[in-house]
Amino acid sequence: MIPDEEFIQSKDVPGPTKEEIRCLVMCKAVISSEDTVVDVGCGSGGLTLEAACRARKVIALDKNPEAINLTRENLEKHGYHENVLLREGDALNILEDLESFQVLLVGGSSGDLSSIVTKGWSKLAPNGRIVVTSILMETRVEAVDVLKKLGTEPDVVEATIAKGKITPRGTLMMGRNPITIVSAVKGN
Amino acid sequence: MIPDEEFIQSKDVPGPTKEEIRCLVMCKAVISSEDTVVDVGCGSGGLTLEAACRARKVIALDKNPEAINLTRENLEKHGYHENVLLREGDALNILEDLESFQVLLVGGSSGDLSSIVTKGWSKLAPNGRIVVTSILMETRVEAVDVLKKLGTEPDVVEATIAKGKITPRGTLMMGRNPITIVSAVKGN
Amino acid sequence: MIPDEEFIQSKDVPGPTKEEIRCLVMCKAVISSEDTVVDVGCGSGGLTLEAACRARKVIALDKNPEAINLTRENLEKHGYHENVLLREGDALNILEDLESFQVLLVGGSSGDLSSIVTKGWSKLAPNGRIVVTSILMETRVEAVDVLKKLGTEPDVVEATIAKGKITPRGTLMMGRNPITIVSAVKGN
Amino acid sequence: MIPDEEFIQSKDVPGPTKEEIRCLVMCKAVISSEDTVVDVGCGSGGLTLEAACRARKVIALDKNPEAINLTRENLEKHGYHENVLLREGDALNILEDLESFQVLLVGGSSGDLSSIVTKGWSKLAPNGRIVVTSILMETRVEAVDVLKKLGTEPDVVEATIAKGKITPRGTLMMGRNPITIVSAVKGN
Ligand SMILES: Nc1ncnc2c1ncn2[C@@H]1O[C@H](CSCC[C@H](N)C(=O)O)[C@@H](O)[C@H]1O
Ligand SMILES: Nc1ncnc2c1ncn2[C@@H]1O[C@H](CSCC[C@H](N)C(=O)O)[C@@H](O)[C@H]1O
Ligand SMILES: Nc1ncnc2c1ncn2[C@@H]1O[C@H](CSCC[C@H](N)C(=O)O)[C@@H](O)[C@H]1O
Ligand SMILES: Nc1ncnc2c1ncn2[C@@H]1O[C@H](CSCC[C@H](N)C(=O)O)[C@@H](O)[C@H]1O
């Protein structure tokens, strides 16, 4: 995993997803070097970069042009831009255009999660994976609901990570926001 | 419980202990209106104020004069100063001087936890309670070890609290540092 | 707080709510000796008993007759039955009949949480408190939603508690299910 | 990751480490196909199997013969036994014999963690990684202490995972024991 501090960050763009959560998302996504991955809401590029070093191709999209720029900067910094296509725009519109792919990562959805997941699911290749990361209580539930409606039983993991900070007095446990990862595998 | 935001805070003094943790500490301390409570490392007065409205008398001590001042300000703001004695100085020295008491709260100990707990335990009245709050991995273990050596089996609770922040997009779960509360009841 | 192991338990009835969660619920409920408390879904009586030793009167209801019996047994075991009225039946029907009260605890709702909270809110006295405890992801969101619709901004606490088990090898941290406590105070 | 339920389990052997924790351990271990991995306290083979499909060679050891047998069964079930050497015996003795390796996983240590980590560290190749998984409060601290003494600043992650169980009533969040992962990278 790329260490958190090696990402260029910006006040105006969320992310990058922290190392331990990126790790769990990658586990659930099971990306192989044959796969095309779509990263919806690429933000700072946290997940885009991890996908880029595992997949054949990554399509990273965000409606915020600053997120697209920041993801580009991070890709360049780490030398991963060749297999990544960046697209600025709304998730639903862009998904509409795409051919089928193996993995859909959803890190942002601004109130439209059900439509994005439904549209994405329809484009998933057989045995494709969808992984939704959420920090909002409501998004978790929406992700579970829509996946159940699509006929699958999602895997739900809430991960609460604390990092130890080594200080002269001892190891201070620093809490992080709990993140929920909802994922599912499409049948074949 | 006093809401977190009603405490005067200072950059130079830790605390106040967050509402939910104060609540758990108070549960473990089982303070009655007959009790004398000693608060070692009163910091911002988070626990001192909660003890003050339950106990007959509170002795709050801190080696940092700014903590003593801040605790005084918070006591005055909430009108609780009559039954609280503030003492600036090192825990071990002050405990040495004290008569027996019913409850010992330890929120700070700077490397000297075993001695503080041992000294405090010797001054605890029959059925007295000791409650150690810790954010350091090492302190938890030291608290458990010294209490086991004193012949008791401590209660150990690690509390990881996330607070929901209501936003227009949904309820953002904000993580807090995990806190460990180690407590024990003295026999009679 | 009453220790967990001092409750009579039954395979067929959920609860009792664990000590640390009962403690947090009591903090949010701020029960005084003048208050009438309604406990919706009393289960094993975990919250009923805690309310009984703080309130003037408790009305504990459950649609499951075995829960009513178990709560009665636990009340008797701990000697608290005088100020507790047990009522078997559906929450919504029973709430309909009641006069106004100061505190509503909701520990069970079987799919009808919004109606129960809305009905309960309408019966809450000025400055009354409502506290919903939930183990289901969906219930948390429903509780937040309905309270927002009722014009209040709920307090949301997710509590993940681990208890240390003292063993010869060391202190084993035993995880518990994360519980979310959604609460609100009615204006006056 | 291999799903938890695909491991053969035994009442007499701990493990397998749960999927999400195996995932985090693998992230910290950064195993490449050139690496030799030593798994101290292989238990049910949870980490052994994950290492086996990433590394050139795995040496899995346990002092409990039943753990060795169970790990062998799990390796056979999943078809990974060719690059795994199983050794029954005490960690310290076996480590003594080994040539240098790239990754040391420590999942069990029965009171001897400092010696095992110190011995293992001395055998780590340049840029080698050590990853200690612990469920005991004391082990975490011991792992941090010994790694600090060896001149490195360990990475400390406490992971509290809850899994959602989809039920007709909703998504029940099931807590797991918090696990702490202490890791370090040797300089070159
Ligand atoms: N409907 C939508 N279409 C495209 N992007 C969206 C969107 N709704 C939200 N987003 C984007 O989703 C992002 C969520 S933050 C994502 C962080 C990212 N996973 C990282 O690790 O860096 C934001 O940048 C936001 O602009
Ligand atoms: N040996 C010692 N003697 C006295 N005070 C000590 C001490 N070691 C640490 N402290 C004090 O312990 C405090 C810990 S912070 C305590 C916060 C407090 N419980 C609150 O809720 O506001 C610090 O103010 C520190 O100065
Ligand atoms: N609509 C409804 N009306 C009445 N009781 C209900 C209900 N829906 C669920 N319940 C009850 O809610 C309970 C939830 S379990 C509550 C446990 C309790 N707080 C304790 O500490 O012991 C169950 O006993 C269930 O029968
Ligand atoms: N000093 C020592 N030498 C060898 N094995 C040891 C040891 N101390 C403890 N162990 C072993 O460490 C194991 C810890 S359980 C490990 C579980 C394993 N990681 C899995 O995923 O399946 C136990 O099987 C125990 O027998």
Report pLDDT for B42. Answer: 98
pLDDT averaged over chain D? Answer: 97
Which of B78-82, C120-124, C133-137 is the least confident region?
A: B78-82
Q: What is the mean pLDDT of residues A70-88?
A: 94
Report pLDDT for C110. Answer: 87
pLDDT tens-digit series, residues C70-88: 999 999 999 987 999 999 9
Report pLDDT for C63. Answer: 97
Mutate to test the pocket of ligand 2, among B62, B75, B177 (most ligand atoms within 8 A of CB): B62
pLDDT averaged over chain B? Answer: 96
Report pLDDT for C78. Answer: 95
Q: What is the mean pLDDT of residues D120-139?
A: 97
Report pLDDT for B118. Answer: 98
Mutate to test the pocket of ligand 3, among C12, C42, C138 (most ligand atoms within 8 A of CB): C42
Q: Which two tokens stand for residue B158?
A: 């690690």
Determine whether the interchain pair A158/C141 forms a contact, defined as Cβ–Cβ distance below 8 Å. Answer: no
Q: Is the peptide bond before A16 cis (omega within 30 degrees of 0)?
A: yes
Residue D110: pLDDT band with limits 50, 70, 90: confident
pLDDT averaged over chain A? Answer: 96
Distance CA D136, CA C82 (A): 45
Q: State the DSSP H helix or E strand holding residue C58, giving kind and residue range, or none if neither.
A: strand C57-62
pLDDT tens-digit series, residues D2-44: 999 999 999 999 999 999 999 999 999 999 999 999 999 999 9
Percent of residues, chain A, with pLDDT higher than 90: 96
Please determine, for residue D111, whether its predicted confidence score (pLDDT) is greater than 80.
Answer: no
Q: Which two tokens stand for residue D156?
A: 């400390």
Residue C146 DSSP SS3: helix
Q: A170 is in which domain, residue-wise?
A: 4-185
Distance CA B90, CA D157 (A): 33
Residue A81: pLDDT band with limits 50, 70, 90: confident
The answer, for B177 touching chain D at a CB cutoff of 8 Å, is no
Please determine, for residue A87, whether its predicted confidence score (pLDDT) is greater than 90.
Answer: yes
pLDDT tens-digit series, residues B122-139: 999 999 999 999 999 999
Q: Is D107 known as a binding-site position?
A: no
Distance CA D107, CA D122 (A): 18
Residue A96: pLDDT band with limits 50, 70, 90: very high
The answer, for D59 touching chain A at a CB cutoff of 8 Å, is no
Distance CA D139, CA D106 (A): 11
Residue B143: pLDDT band with limits 50, 70, 90: very high
Q: Other CB atoms closer than 10 Å to residue B144's CB: what's the count? A: 24
Report pLDDT for D136. Answer: 96
Report pLDDT for A155. Answer: 98
Chain D neighbors (3+ CB pairs < 8 Å): A, B, C
Distance CA D86, CA D44 (A): 12
Please determine, for residue D119, whether its predicted confidence score (pLDDT) is greater than 80.
Answer: yes
Ligand 1 centroid from CA D25, angstroms: 28
Q: What is the mean pLDDT of residues C115-128?
A: 98
Residue A111: pLDDT band with limits 50, 70, 90: confident
ipTM score: 0.96
Determine whether the interchain pair D137/B138 forms a contact, defined as Cβ–Cβ distance below 8 Å. Answer: no
pLDDT tens-digit series, residues C133-172: 999 999 999 999 999 999 999 999 999 999 999 999 999 9
- Return the residue in A113, A134, A137, A140 with the most chain C beta carbons within 10 A, the one to mutate for interface testing: A137
Q: Is D17 known as a binding-site position?
A: yes
Determine whether the interchain pair C171/B24 forms a contact, defined as Cβ–Cβ distance below 8 Å. Answer: no
Residue A80: pLDDT band with limits 50, 70, 90: confident
Report pLDDT for C169. Answer: 92
Report pLDDT for B187. Answer: 86
CATH number at residue D156: 3.40.50.150
The answer, for A172 touching chain C at a CB cutoff of 8 Å, is no
Distance CA C112, CA C60 (A): 18
Instruction: Pick the residue whose CA is nearest to atom 24 on ligand 3.
Output: C43
Determine whether the interchain pair D141/B138 forms a contact, defined as Cβ–Cβ distance below 8 Å. Answer: yes
Task: Please give the angle made by the CA atoms of C39, C46 and C27, to the nearest 5 degrees.
Answer: 75
How does DSSP assign B49-108, residue by residue? HHHHTTSSEEEEEES-HHHHHHHHHHHHHHT--TTEEEEES-HHHHHHH---EEEEEES-
Report pLDDT for C188. Answer: 79
Per the structure, the count of domains in chain C is 1
The answer, for A50 touching chain D at a CB cutoff of 8 Å, is no
Residue A110 DSSP SS3: coil
The answer, for D160 touching chain B at a CB cutoff of 8 Å, is yes
Q: What is the mean pLDDT of residues D117-136?
A: 97
Question: C-alpha C27: how far from its chain's center?
Answer: 12
Torsion region of C30: left, alpha or beta (phi above 0 gives left; psi -120 to 50 gives alpha): left
